[in-house]
Amino acid sequence: MQRRLYPGRDFRRAQNIDELREMARRRLPNFSFEYVEGGADDEVTLRRNRSVFEGITLQPRTLVDVGQRDLGCHFFERPSSMPCLIGPTGFNGLLTDRGDWHLAQAATRAGIPFVLSNASTVAIEEIAAIDGVRAWMQIYLYRTRQHVADLVARCKALELEAIVVTTDSAILGNREWDRRNYSRPLKLDLRNALDVAAHPGWVWDVLVPHGVPRFKNLGNLLKPGQDSVKGAASAIGQELDATLSWQDIAWLRDLWPGKLIVKGLMHPDDAPQALKYGVDGVVLSNHGGRQLDGAVSAMEVLPGIVRQLKGRVSVFLDGGFRRGTDILKARLLGADGVFLGRAGLYGLAAGKGPGASHAIEILRSEMDRSLGLLGCSSLEELTPDLIHDPVWRGLAEAIRR
């Protein structure tokens, strides 16, 4: 009998993230799924983000008592149930109605932080009102700095823990497959318009309740009536600032008294700058393969940057995480935690909030099982000798010297 993924719609039957991905693909119209799925140019970096994990092989111990296992860790001295969190992803209102709210609820149920995207269709005030939520806010340093200052003021009023400033999108990447869905900017071509009509479940979920989703955190950045996903896209593009520099991080640091995290760092020469400008954390990221095609994966630069920053700045990363073992490999190479992007979105698209929770629990189960199979009871027991490859093991050992 030929192998195949579960072909139905019951997200609870999904065995892994790839199966949730297939359910999401079937439920969403093509243009919406392509926005989540696609990368830049030839998608070399998009593929590299996944293939890098195959080269890091593990060498487990045996005859070790692993009857009690604990995935718990700390981010900024506060506990997290496992070494991952839901990272910022925009336009989630095109996956399901109030998508970001559902994702935040899922993260809260799982006991991990949630980072709301600047390009969210749910207001940060609604997220902060969720009982027990650990909410962080992503921002872009747009040309209109008063908007940025106003958003920071909102975050201060809500007493949020952290701001995550994304720095790798000052120039928008070349996402050809996404653009092919449109006959002109923001106008779906006939094929995609008919495809939307062929997904009535999505139409009733996303478009019927409140119309085209509207941005809720862009405020004075947009003209009246241009706050819809369709109307705001061109305005946001014009606000991207190619002059962005570390001096702008200094400006933001003066405004924001909480934890400040810089997302998009990839070069080891940038690591000392994070220390110089007083940031509390960095996220190593190539933006999910959606910006510079041909860039290395965050996993490849992780050990070198951790070696420079370990103990002084928290180091996170994202890009291609689909298995619990992927997350454990990042911990072995020195990461404090992993930002989840597409993995959570596949669950959200397949089954709203419960689907997102299922995606998180799949990864939790895989991490717990793999931790035990490695012969470890906690994340602290993950040591370089568990890596088989000499090069990767050497990098992991260098971090601990």
Q: What is the pLDDT of residue 226?
A: 63
User: Using CA atoms, how far apart are residues 291 and 332, in angstroms rounded to an integer?
Assistant: 27
Helices 298-309 + 324-332 axis angle, to 10:
40
Placement of tokens 């924001």 in the chain: 256
Strand partners, 265: 284
User: Residue 8: its pLDDT value, please?
Assistant: 85
Q: Rg of the chain's alpha carbons, rounded to an integer?
A: 21
Residue 232's pLDDT is what?
63
| Tally of residues, the chain | 401
Do the beta carbons of residue 43 and residue 287 sit within 8 Å? no
Going by pLDDT thresholds of 50, 70 and 90, the confidence category of residue 210 is confident
Residue 314 bridge partners (DSSP): 281
Residues with catalytic roles: 287
Whole-model pTM over 0.85? yes
What is the rounded average pLDDT of the residues 271-300? 96
pLDDT, one tens digit per residue, over 49-88 is: 999 999 999 999 999 999 999 999 999 999 999 999 999 9
Q: SS3 of 265, please?
A: strand
- 184 annotated to a ligand binding site: no
Do the strands 337-340 and 162-166 form a parallel or antiparallel pair, or are they unpaired? Answer: unpaired
Please determine, for residue 204, whether its predicted confidence score (pLDDT) is greater than 70: yes
Which residue from 303, 285, 297 is spatially nearest to 340, judged by alpha carbons? 285
**Cβ within 8 Å of residue 338, ≥6 positions away:** 83, 84, 85, 316, 317, 318, 321, 326, 327, 330
Contacting residues for 175 by C-beta, under 8 A, at least 6 apart: 38, 39, 40, 290
**Residue 21 among known ligand-binding residues:** no
Is 216 annotated as contributing to ligand binding?
no
| 310-360: pLDDT as tens digits | 889 999 999 999 999 999 999 999 999 999 999 999 999 999 999 999 999
| Mean pLDDT lowest among 119-123, 193-197, 223-227, 284-288 | 223-227
Among candidate residues 279, 337, 262, 267, the one with its CA nearest the CA of residue 313: 279
Q: Would you place residue 225 in the very low, low, confident or very high pLDDT band (cuts 50, 70, 90)?
A: low
- Residue 210 assigned ligand-binding role: no
Whole-Å CA distances, 321 to 148, 186, 369, 394: 30, 30, 17, 23
CB atoms within 10 A of CB 61: 14
Domains of the chain: residue spans and CATH: 11-56+67-175+237-370 (3.20.20.70)
Backbone φ, ψ for residue 259 (5° rounding): -70, 130
Q: Cα(387)–Cα(391) distance, rounded to whole angstroms?
A: 9
What's residue 216's pLDDT?
86
Q: Measured between alpha carbons, how far is 203 from 197 in angstroms, rounded to an integer? A: 8
User: How high is the pLDDT of residue 227?
Assistant: 60
Structural contact between residues 370 and 57, judged by C-beta atoms closer than 8 angstroms: no
Residues 53, 26, 96, 90: is their CA dihedral positive or negative?
positive
91 annotated to bind ligand: no
Closest listed residue to residue 92, CA positions, set 60, 62, 110, 114: 114
- 294 marked as binding residue: no
* Cβ atoms of 135 and 160 closer than 8 Å: yes
pLDDT for 348-370, tens place per residue? Answer: 999 999 999 999 999 999 999 99
Can you give the pLDDT at residue 233? Answer: 65
pLDDT band at 5 (very low <50, low <70, confident <90, very high): confident
* Distance in angstroms (rounded) separating the CA atoms of residues 324 and 340: 11
Q: Cα angle vertex 131, ends 28, 147, to 5°?
A: 70
Higher local confidence (pLDDT), 129 or 172? 129
Mean per-residue pLDDT for 13-40? 96
The annotation status of 401 as a binding-site residue, yes or no, is no
In this predicted model, what pLDDT tens digit does every residue of 190-200 receive, in sequence order? 999 999 999 99
Residue 324 labeled ligand binder: no
